[in-house]
């Protein structure tokens, strides 16, 4: 993660602009004086820089919850704040050089709003969840120009590598998204996807609730797959294979293909490593044979009243509210010049969303963007509105 190790933090006056980087406001953690968030806007992307003041070091880095699509914009924001505040940088992994020439030409990287506002429907769609090194994704896109491939990944170096290759190989049928794939699936129209690839996902043996493959994920994939479309799991973990098989077979009606040590056209760097170690590779392929109704999601994220008691809001720190099918957890509270800010997680238990809410005397709003319009998030918003207004 890009960061600056600094000698001492200096606060600037807000708002302020330096080299087209907008510094909007600062939020201070009400329970931990060593944490602050700096609101930044770069090229119409809004996100936070995170300041952590520890006993032996002070770090300025990007906030995980609001990280923008462009890592280059994070670099710009960090360097701009250091310059504006006249920070003494002890150590840094932020490059001072110009943006990579190939990344300057990138159009494949999209934000979640791109898919939420108007999902591309001019081609058949195939989706790869957690594309890693990108070998399989790039191979498929290069060899199937008539199909739109959407790659979903949260590891930034992997994303940048695939973006560079998409430019070098001149692939115009590849889109990349940095987002939770489980949430993304609710944006996909029904019956349009030819395949969903989940190759070598993190096994999460100690935290099985974090696995990509789950009953709800399979249900959502079945909805978006066209008849004959496939969900393809490929894993070196015998535990993950056994767990996934049991999850698939629990459905009342399902068609599965099981393979062991099957060769495919292109292998990932992980698969090459496992084969050298003589580990077994397992494939579970679900073939969809059900036509699904279109998913209709109604509602919005407006708050019923902008007035609320700030003392009561501060008292929500670390509290959890559960409702049928989901929860709201108030993770942290912050003060701003104009009011308060809350960091919370909400939605369904197996795929929650993490976000911020700004509160002042005139407005309550999500920041920097609205939650994804999913059924669980809309229900969580209703419950949140009740909690904030008693």
List, for residues 108-128, the tens digit of each pLDDT value.
889 888 898 889 999 999 999
Q: How far apart are CA 377 and CA 355, in angstroms?
A: 11
pLDDT digits (tens, 9 = 90+) for 347-378: 988 778 899 999 998 899 999 989 988 888 99
**Secondary structure E strands in 54-204:** 58-62, 89-92, 109-110, 124-129, 147-152, 174-177, 193-199
DSSP per residue over 133-150, as a string? T-HHHHHHHHH-TTEEEE
Position 243 pLDDT exceeds 70: yes
Question: Mean pLDDT in the chain?
Answer: 91
User: Is residue 1 pLDDT above 90, yes or no?
Assistant: no
Read off the pLDDT of residues 203-232 as tens digits, 9 standing for 90 and up: 989 888 889 999 989 999 999 999 999 999
Instruction: Give the model's pLDDT for residue 268.
Output: 76
Instruction: Kindly indicate the confidence band of residue 98, based on its pLDDT and cuts at 50, 70 and 90.
Output: low
pLDDT digits (tens, 9 = 90+) for 21-63: 999 999 999 999 899 999 999 988 999 999 999 888 899 999 9
Closest to 223 (Cα-Cα) out of 263, 188, 249, 253 = 188
Judge if the upstream peptide bond of residue 210 is cis by omega within 30 degrees of 0: no
Residues 6+ apart with CB under 8 A from 69: 45, 109, 110, 111, 178
Take residue 117 and report the two structure tokens written for it: 């506002």
Q: How confident is the model at residue 102 (pLDDT cuts 50, 70, 90)?
A: low
Q: Is 207 helix (H, G, I), strand (E, B) or coil?
A: coil
Q: Are 156 and 71 in contact (CB under 8 A)?
A: yes
pLDDT of amino acid 295: 83
């Amino acid at each position: 993660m890009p960061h600056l190790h600094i000698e001492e933090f200096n606060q600037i006056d807000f708002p302020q602009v330096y080299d087209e980087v907008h510094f909007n406001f600062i939020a201070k953690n009400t329970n931990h004086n060593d944490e602050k968030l700096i609101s930044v806007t770069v090229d119409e992307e809004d996100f936070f820089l995170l300041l952590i003041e520890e006993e032996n070091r002070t770090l300025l880095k990007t906030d995980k919850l609001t990280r923008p699509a462009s890592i280059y914009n994070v670099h710009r924001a960090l360097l701009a704040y250091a310059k504006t505040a006249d920070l003494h940088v002890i150590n840094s992994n932020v490059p001072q050089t110009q943006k990579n020439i190939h990344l300057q030409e990138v159009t494949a990287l999209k934000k979640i709003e791109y898919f939420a506002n108007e999902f591309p429907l001019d081609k058949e769609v195939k989706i790869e969840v957690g594309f890693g090194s990108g070998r399989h994704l790039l191979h498929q896109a290069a060899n199937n120009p008539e199909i739109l491939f959407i790659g979903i990944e949260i590891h930034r170096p992997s994303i940048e590598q695939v973006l560079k290759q998409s430019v070098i190989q001149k692939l115009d049928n590849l889109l990349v998204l940095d987002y939770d794939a489980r949430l993304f699936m609710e944006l996909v129209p029904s019956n349009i996807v030819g395949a969903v690839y989940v190759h070598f996902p993190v096994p999460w043996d100690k935290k099985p609730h974090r696995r990509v493959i789950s009953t709800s994920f399979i249900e959502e994939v079945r909805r978006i797959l066209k008849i004959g479309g496939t969900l393809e799991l490929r894993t070196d973990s015998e535990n993950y294979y056994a767990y996934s098989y049991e999850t698939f077979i629990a459905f009342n009606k399902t068609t599965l293909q099981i393979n062991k040590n099957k060769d495919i056209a292109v292998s990932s760097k992980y698969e090459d490593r496992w084969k050298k170690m003589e580990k077994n590779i397992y494939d579970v392929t679900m073939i969809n044979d059900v036509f699904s109704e279109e998913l209709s999601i109604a509602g919005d994220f407006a708050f019923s009243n902008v007035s609320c008691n700030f003392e009561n809001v501060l008292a929500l720190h670390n509290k959890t509210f559960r409702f049928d099918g989901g929860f709201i957890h108030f993770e942290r509270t912050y003060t701003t010049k104009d009011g308060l800010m809350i960091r919370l997680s909400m939605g369904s238990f197996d795929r929650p969303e993490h976000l911020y809410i700004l509160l002042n005397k005139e407005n309550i709003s999500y920041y920097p963007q609205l939650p994804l319009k999913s059924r669980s998030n809309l229900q969580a918003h209703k419950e949140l509105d009740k909690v904030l207004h008693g």
